Each structure stands twice: as C-alpha cells, then as structure tokens.
C-alpha cells in the first residue's frame, strides 16, 4: 500500500474519494480510524444542536469533481430551478439530510469500506522510504485527518451540574444560558426559544456576521496567495482573528431573536447567572498540543511550529518530512497554516487534491 489516511471523518472521506477518482486503486490505500461511518462524529454533533441546514453552499460536497454541486443535484432530483437560482446568489444551503445522503453515496461509490481498518493510531514515524504507522508500513504518502482534539469547556464551568456542551445530546430547561456566540450558539438560541425557554446569551465579544467560516476571498487563489506570502506572526494573528465567533446574517436569525428580546425572553449578559441550564457552545480545543498524535509527531521529529499551529507548506505538507519520495500532510483543523478554512469541506478538498498530486507525481 502506498497511501495511508489516518482518521475516519469527513476530511478522510473527501481525501479517499479524491485519491480513487485520481486513479489510485483501493488496494493502494488504507484508512485507519475509529468509525467505519465517516459521518458519525459530524452527524452526532449536528443532531445535538438540531442543525437543519449546512452553512456551506453548493460547493460543499465530498465528491472529487467540483461539478455537479449539491444545487445541481437537488435540481436533478426534481426540486426545480430554485436551488440553481439560490446558488447563483450564494444563498443555497443544502439540508443536513441532503448532505448526509450525499456522503453515504460517496462512501459507497468510492469503495471506502474495503480500505477501512478500525484502529486508533498511536504514533507515526518517519523512516527511509516513507512513514510507519504503529509499526506498519512504510507508506510513501500519509495524510493525517485526525479531526478536532476534543470539546472545549470553560474551566469555571467544568464542575457545574447545570452545564452541558452544545455538541452533547441535551434538551432545554425553562431558563437557559448559552455561552458562546458562533454558529452553534446562534443555533442553540433559536432552539431554546422554540422550546419555550427564556434565553441568556453570554459572550466575550460580539460575533462577526458573515456567511462562511472565513471571508470569501480566502477561498480564492488570489486570497490564498496573499495569505501564504504573509510573515509567520502576521499569519498567526490573522488565524487568531478568524477564530472569532461568527454566524450568518439574515432574517432567519435576526427576526426570532428580535421578537424574543421584545418579549423579554432573550437578552445578553456579561456572565453566567442563575438559570437552570448552561449550554456551552464553545467549540473545540485549539492547537496541536491538545492532539496526542500530532504533539508526538512534533516532539519526535522536531517540527517547526508557530503558536498553536504546525508550520505547513502551501500544499498542506510538513516541509521537514516531505521530499521527492514521500509525503506527510495535515487535513482538517490541523491544516489551517496552509488553508485558513481547513476545517470546512472546501478545506478538506483543498488538502485532498494537493495530496493526490504528490501521490501521482511519485508513481
């Protein structure tokens, strides 16, 4: 086997489908992970916050080719031209059910199940000719798509019996405090209000209102070229700023909140108060040091880091361990040094396509 993917989430599925589409046989790829269903972790989190629609747009699909997007697929399934019209104006957002059905289709067509091995990888080591994974190999090309290292919970709330993380299964009490101000928090405001709760929003700063996780130019070649040309501290500062909580604009969000505020059922306060329930929509732990596999890779091989990021080349590879004969690349949130929106579907495909080019170049 020439290629190994470590991790079994959505980024892993995108990479696997891209490799297969690029001519790499399933017998040349192994996927190590803990979930045979690559949507399992994402599906659980989406269900916990009752997410109905994707933040991503028509391009937010896992198929290796850009066309057709999810809007075209919806139109072909009999939904008429409305999805196409909405896509032209960047207002098309597929439902969660549509996205998951699409992911299941990609999984089946790509042959994912035939390459999957259930294993929690403990270590990766660079050796002559590639990399060994828990002593197995060597593999010439390794993509690490380990996902988020864990849920983030404010220390002061860790022992509070009222506290639950937004991405854990929960119902809503009659009075709820939601800590955080990003997409998950905004979704939880509406969920709790719809359940009849009185809602208090606690936030460190006002959220940014934008349609996607990062500004649209950073998904373009020109925007990425500017980002890649920036000095390390400038790049780290930009990534820290981009981590600010955000959610989209629009009446879908604003009108229910405004109506609830007029009724006295929604307000913003500076700290957690005496509500019956505290929901922490505080996302995930940040930084490679929280990931056992990545921190071990950094320590053993002396990889260059800056703040909480592993320094990567523009193609998401680790420069110190990648050469003409071997590749190791980071996908998902760990790949932000190369692609600011690395923890999105677009980011997964960006890394997957670059990884395919390297795998094919060394055939």
Residue 1 has pLDDT above 80, yes or no: no
Which whole-number Å values give the CA distances from 179 to 150, 175, 191, 284, in the listed order?
A: 17, 13, 14, 13
**pLDDT of the residue at 194:** 97
Q: pLDDT tens for residues 44-92?
A: 999 999 999 999 988 888 989 888 888 888 888 888 888 888 888 788 8
The CA–CA distances, whole Å, from 164 to 31, 44, 157 equal 32, 15, 9
Instruction: Report the alpha-carbon distance of residue 361 to residue 363 in Å, rounded.
Output: 6
pLDDT score, position 257 = 97
Measure the CA–CA gap between 52 and 193, rounded to whole angstroms: 16
List 248's β-bridge partners, or say none: none
Q: Which of 335, 229, 329 is nearest to 288 (CA)?
A: 335
Cα(196)–Cα(176) distance, integer angstroms: 10
Please list the helix, strand and coil fractions of the chain in percent, rounded to the nearest 5, in that order: 40, 20, 40
- Tokens 């929604």 — which residue? 266
Looking at residues 346-353, what average pLDDT do you find?
96
Q: Tell me how far apart the alpha carbons of residues 185 and 278 are, in angstroms, rounded to a whole number.
A: 12
Name the DSSP letter for residue 246. E
**Considering the chain, what percentage of its residues have pLDDT values greater than 90?**
86
Q: In 10 A of CB 247, how many CB atoms? A: 20
* Residue 362 confidence (pLDDT) above 80: no
- 204-208 contacts: CB < 8 A, separation 24 or more? 205/181, 205/244, 205/245, 206/181, 207/181, 207/182, 207/244, 207/245, 207/246, 207/247, 208/244, 208/245, 208/246
Q: What dihedral do alpha carbons 342, 345, 349, 355 form, nearest 10°?
A: 50
Smallest Cα–Cα separation from 332: which of 17, 10, 39, 62? 10
| Domains in the chain with CATH codes | 3-150+285-361 (3.50.50.60), 155-207+245-280 (3.50.50.60)
Residue pair 81/48 in contact (Cβ under 8 Å)? The answer is no
* CA 316 vs CA 36, 178, 352, 354: distances in Å: 25, 35, 9, 8
Task: Enter the tokens of residue 230.
Answer: 């920036």
Check if the beta carbon of residue 177 is closer than 8 Å to that of residue 277.
yes
**Predicted confidence (pLDDT) per residue in 84-113, tens digit:** 888 887 888 899 999 999 999 999 999 999
Question: Higher pLDDT residue, 361 or 242?
Answer: 242
pLDDT in tens, 165-220: 999 999 999 999 999 999 999 999 999 999 999 999 999 999 999 999 999 999 99
- Split at pLDDT 50, 70, 90, the class of 332 is very high
With 80 as the cut, is the pLDDT of residue 363 above it? no
Span 293-313, pLDDT tens digits = 999 999 999 999 999 999 999
Residue 311, CA distances (Å) to 195, 287, 298 in order: 45, 12, 10
**How much is the average pLDDT of 262-289?**
96
Task: Tell me the pTM.
Answer: 0.93
Q: How far is residue 38 from each of residues 77, 87, 106, 168, 245, measured CA to CA in Å?
A: 24, 27, 10, 18, 26
Q: For residues 15-43, give the mean pLDDT.
A: 96
């Amino acid at each position: 086997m020439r290629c190994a993917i470590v991790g079994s989430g959505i980024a892993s599925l995108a990479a696997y489908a891209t490799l297969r589409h690029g001519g790499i046989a399933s017998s040349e790829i192994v996927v190590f992970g803990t979930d045979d269903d690559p949507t399992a972790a994402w599906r659980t989190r989406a269900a916990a916050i009752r997410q109905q629609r994707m933040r991503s747009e028509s391009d937010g699909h896992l198929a290796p080719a850009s066309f057709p997007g999810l809007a075209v697929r919806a139109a072909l399934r009999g939904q008429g031209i409305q999805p196409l019209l909405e896509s032209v104006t960047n207002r098309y957002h597929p439902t969660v059910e549509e996205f998951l059905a699409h992911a299941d289709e990609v999984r089946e067509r790509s042959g994912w199940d035939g390459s999957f091995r259930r294993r929690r990888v403990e270590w990766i080591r660079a050796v002559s000719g590639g990399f060994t994974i828990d002593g197995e190999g060597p593999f010439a090309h390794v993509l690490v798509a380990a996902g988020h290292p864990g849920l983030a919970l404010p220390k002061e709330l860790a022992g509070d019996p009222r506290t639950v993380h937004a991405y854990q299964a929960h119902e809503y009490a009659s009075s709820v405090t939601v800590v955080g101000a990003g997409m998950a928090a905004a979704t939880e405001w509406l969920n709790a209000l719809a359940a009849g709760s009185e809602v208090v929003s606690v936030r460190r700063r006002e959220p940014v209102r934008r349609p996607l996780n990062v500004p649209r130019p950073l998904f373009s070649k020109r925007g990425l070229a500017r980002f890649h040309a920036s000095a390390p501290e400038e790049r780290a500062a930009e990534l820290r700023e981009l981590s600010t909580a955000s959610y989209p604009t629009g009446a879908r969000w604003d009108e229910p909140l405004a109506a609830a505020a007029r009724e006295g059922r929604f307000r913003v306060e500076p700290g957690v108060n005496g509500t019956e329930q505290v929901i922490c929509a505080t996302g995930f732990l940040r930084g490679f040091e929280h990931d056992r596999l990545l921190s071990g890779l950094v320590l053993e091989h002396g990889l260059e880091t800056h703040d909480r990021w592993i320094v990567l080349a523009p193609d998401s590879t680790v420069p110190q361990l990648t050469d003409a004969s071997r590749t190791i690349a980071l996908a998902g949130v760990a790949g932000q040094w190369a692609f600011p929106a690395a923890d999105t579907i677009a980011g997964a495909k960006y890394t997957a396509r670059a990884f395919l080019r390297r795998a094919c170049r060394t055939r």
